[in-house]
Amino acid sequence: MSIIEKYQQHFLPEYSNYPHGRYFSIFLLRKIESEAIFRTEGSGEPLSREFVHAGTKTDDEIIQRVVISKRKQTAVERRTGRELLRKNELLFTDPKQKANPPSPCALNRNNPCGKCMDCMIYGYAAGGGGAQKSRVITDDAFSLHPAHTIIGTKQFNALFDTGTMRDPESGEPSTSIGTDEYVKPEAIFLDIETIKDVTAAEFQYILGNILRSTRYGAISSRIGKVQNQIVGIALSDCELVSNLEWTQAAYDILRGEADEPDFPLHLETVQQVAAQTLTALSEDVVGSVTLLPQADVEALLAEMKSLYGDETAVTNLLKTATSAYPGN
Ligand SMILES: [Zn+2]
């Protein structure tokens, strides 16, 4: 029996527009693998950061943490999924749009088709009526380490309005210098994606998008490479802990008696601690929570790998899920 079959009762048997209270929480470590700028490169804008408590104790000091906004994370994963839908001709055209010729469903434009997996899972609001709430719930993610530990700065040649390093009039290279902040390689962010009321096929699509996305950050020539590592999956009838709580709990254990944890830390070290804190945190939740055994998480990831290695199987999955939406 596959893992998807094993947990069949927690998936919706078919798409439904009504809330059923069936939540999946995917616990992720996002590990930065190359200098990442979560701002427009060359803009000189600082990285987003927030003052928060270091750990969970009441007398804990306040530190600054780097924040990756929830919008940035899902935008990347949506794009990954949309590539697959486009390849399989499963992005549609809103028949009511006025543009001539009409353009197919696209992110950040006012023409959602309201029929594709992306619209139906991640949500849309159409100008001419029709809307779907996102069934993928995300939150801002906080860096494990304090901002001062994981931020570096470097100089850049300022860009001209044309986005190039050459003066559009004289053709001379730019000589003005600015400073960009970046997140250092091996910085780690703890992040929970909550998925609500999905079918098995929709779940496999969302999980595939997370596992196959590798480039996050500002859209520019140097987008940071990010590795998403899944450390746990929980099934529940309510939302679980926040990203910040989870980050603070892991931070407490990782620093031990020291002022702050070493940097960089081995991904495996963080993985073990992050998984360990999940058990404790999920015991505090008022609701029914099942943490998948680690062996099941690993088996599920192996299933995902073989699924996405089989182009025909992916096409069938996407077609079946898409045709299950009303009106398709
Ligand atoms: Zn669409």
Helix (H, G, I), strand (E, B) or coil at 317: helix
Q: How many domains would you assign to the chain?
A: 1
* pLDDT of 215 over the 70 cut: yes
Residue 176 lies in a domain: no
pLDDT digits (tens, 9 = 90+) for 32-60: 998 877 765 556 677 889 999 999 998 89
Whether residue 110 lies inside any domain: the answer is no
Q: Which residues fall inside 5 Å of ion ligand 1, going by CB?
A: 105, 113, 116, 119
Cα separation values, 325 from 24, 81, 116, 136, 199, Å: 21, 17, 8, 17, 11
What's the count of helices (H) and strands (E) in the chain, helices before strands? 9, 13
82 CA distance to ligand 1 centroid (A)? 9
Residues 153-175 have pLDDT tens digits of 877 666 655 666 666 666 666 55
- Domain housing 41: 3-88+134-152+182-323
What is the spatial distance between Cα 124 and Cα 113, in angstroms, rounded to a whole number?
9
pTM of the model: 0.89
Inside any domain, residue 93:
no
Q: What is the mean pLDDT of the chain?
A: 88
CA distance linking residue 74 with residue 284, whole number of Å: 28
Nearest to 259 by CA among 67, 66, 60: 60
CA atoms within 13 A on the CB side of 16: 14
- 107 alpha carbon to ligand 1 midpoint, in Å? 8
Q: Given this model, what pLDDT does residue 46 score?
A: 78
Distance 228 CA to ligand 1 centre (A): 25
Q: Look at residues 56, 36, 27 and name the one whose alpha carbon lies nearest to residue 245.
A: 56
